[in-house]
């Protein structure tokens, strides 16, 4: 398959330096967008074509666009970090590109070549480099590659044309409280995904499905919802948009990828970073009873959530119909914070990148 060359059509009306800088102070998450975006089309019989870097602008969509009706949509999230020498590097774009291909297969969409995915992210970051926050803080430039169906029609079948886009947004802490521990509502009746379903694809429907449970979590005074498996309602799977880790002293354990969980890039990175720091790390099944009992008997010392947007966020309290408990003393745990610091140090270019994860631009 040939990779289309990305043609640059720069914005004639970018934000002024002052406007851009204002939106980069406490950027929050996903509220401001850079001046440009990448668009690449796919058409049946022609493949990928018309790759462009164009001014960020609304899309014009026919009301009968298939995505609006049948949700053939997939996305990714990755970050670009300012390095100590002022250059910029993205974190593991190849891992995101490969996961994007897996999501495309599951949603019966065309696979974008890995090199095109990376070239599209690179082109946008290079063009809008001024939007990458300064080195050293919590901030980064969050990239959101995504693909939608663009055929117009109401028949239920795969679209015969698609649009791939990359947009970018300066990002601070995902949770308004920063690295403050979050509270979790353990949803024992709602499930996020079922075996054989879409749980391991990064598609909007999984996030839409999480919103009601997330609202119920908020009603219970919690920040996030955690799901159990759909068959036995027993095994801990993940949060609405993040993976989970359980810390047993010197060992960290994350739920096994059963097919109904998302294979998080941060999750995978931490399995390795933990070993670099001298901890044991493994995938395994953790039941809700084990979570409760191991907290009570003191063997489960910390719990944290992880994802590209949220990096690593400690879990402070857990509530369920059966009761409520606090992880450790409710404050961020030592292992959680050491892993967080090391991962961020690699991403910011101050710890050695022994795994070759950083992709310089």
Does 170 bind ligand COI (CB under 6 A)? Our answer is: no
3-state secondary structure of 296: helix
Rounded to the nearest whole angstrom, what is the least distance from the CB of residue 132 to ligand COI in the complex?
A: 17
Cβ closest to ligand COI, residue 140 vs residue 308: 308
Q: How far apart are CA 179 and CA 344, in angstroms?
A: 13
Residues in the chain, how many?
361
Binder of ligand COI out of 172, 307, 314, 349 (CB under 6 A): 307
- 175 backbone dihedrals φ, ψ, rounded to 5°: -95, 135
Q: State the Cα–Cα distance between residues 360 and 277, nearest whole angstrom.
A: 24
Cβ distance 311 to 343 under 8 Å?
yes
The nearer residue to ligand COI, 168 or 300, going by C-beta atoms, is: 168
69-86 CB burial, b ≥16 within 10 A, e <16: ebbbbbbbbbbbbbbeee
Which residue sits closest to ligand COI, CB atoms considered? 77
User: What number of chain residues touch ligand COI (CB under 6 A)?
Assistant: 5
Stretch that binds ligand COI, among 183-191, 222-230, 302-310, 330-338 (CB under 6 A): 302-310
Residue 241: C-alpha distances to residues 68, 185, 210 (Å): 22, 14, 8
Told to check if 309 binds ligand COI by CB under 6 A, we report yes
Nearer to ligand COI, 203 or 320 (CB): 203
Task: Show the binding pattern over residues 238-267: x = contacts ligand COI (CB under 6 A), - = does not.
Answer: ---x--------------------------
Residue placing its CB nearer to ligand COI in the complex, 48 or 100: 100
Q: Taking the complex as a whole, how short is the minimal distance between the CB of residue 79 and ligand COI, in angstroms?
A: 8
Are the C-beta atoms of residues 10 and 36 closer than 8 Å to each other?
yes
Site for ligand COI in 69-88 (CB under 6 A): 77
Residue span binding ligand COI (CB under 6 A) among the ranges 65-73, 80-88, 103-111, 301-309: 301-309
- Classify 3 in phi/psi space as left (phi over 0), alpha (psi -120 to 50) or beta: beta
In this structure, the strands spanning 243-248 and 302-307 are: antiparallel
Among residues 206, 254, 308, 336, which is the contact residue for ligand COI, using CB under 6 A?
308
Site residues (vs ligand COI, CB under 6 A)? 77, 241, 307-309
């Amino acid at each position: 398959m040939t990779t289309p060359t990305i043609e640059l059509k720069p914005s004639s009306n970018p934000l002024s330096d002052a406007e851009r800088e204002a939106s980069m102070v406490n950027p929050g998450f996903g509220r401001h967008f850079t001046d440009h975006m990448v668009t690449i089309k796919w058409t049946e019989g022609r493949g990928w074509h018309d790759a462009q870097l164009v001014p960020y602008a609304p899309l014009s969509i026919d009301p009968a666009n298939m995505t609006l009706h049948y949700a053939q949509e997939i996305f990714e999230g990755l970050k670009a970090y300012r390095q100590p020498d002022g250059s910029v590097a993205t974190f593991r774009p190849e891992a995101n590109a490969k996961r994007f291909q897996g999501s495309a297969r599951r949603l019966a969409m065309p696979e974008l070549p890995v090199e095109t995915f990376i070239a599209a992210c690179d082109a946008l970051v290079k063009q809008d480099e001024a939007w990458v926050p300064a080195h050293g803080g919590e901030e980064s430039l969050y990239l959101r590659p995504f693909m939608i169906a663009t055929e117009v029609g109401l028949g239920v079948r795969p679209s015969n044309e698609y649009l791939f886009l990359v947009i970018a947004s300066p990002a601070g802490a995902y949770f308004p409280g920063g690295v403050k521990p979050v509270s979790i509502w353990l949803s024992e009746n709602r499930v996020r995904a079922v075996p054989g379903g879409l749980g391991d694809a990064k598609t909007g429907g999984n996030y839409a499905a999480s919103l009601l449970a997330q609202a119920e979590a908020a009603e219970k005074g919690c920040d996030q919802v955690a799901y159990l498996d759909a068959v036995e309602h027993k095994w801990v799977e993940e949060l609405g948009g993040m993976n989970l880790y359980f810390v047993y002293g010197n060992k960290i354990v994350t739920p096994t990828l059963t097919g109904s969980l998302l294979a998080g890039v941060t999750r995978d990175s931490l399995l390795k970073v933990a070993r670099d720091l001298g901890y044991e790390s493994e995938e395994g099944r953790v039941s809700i009873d084990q979570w409760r009992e191991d907290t009570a008997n003191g063997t489960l010392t910390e719990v944290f959530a992880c994802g590209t947007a949220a990096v690593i966020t400690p879990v402070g309290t857990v509530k369920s119909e059966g009761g409520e408990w606090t992880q450790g003393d409710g404050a961020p745990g030592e292992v959680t914070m050491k892993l967080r610091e090391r991962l961020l140090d690699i991403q910011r270019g101050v710890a050695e990148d022994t795994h070759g994860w950083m992709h310089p631009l």
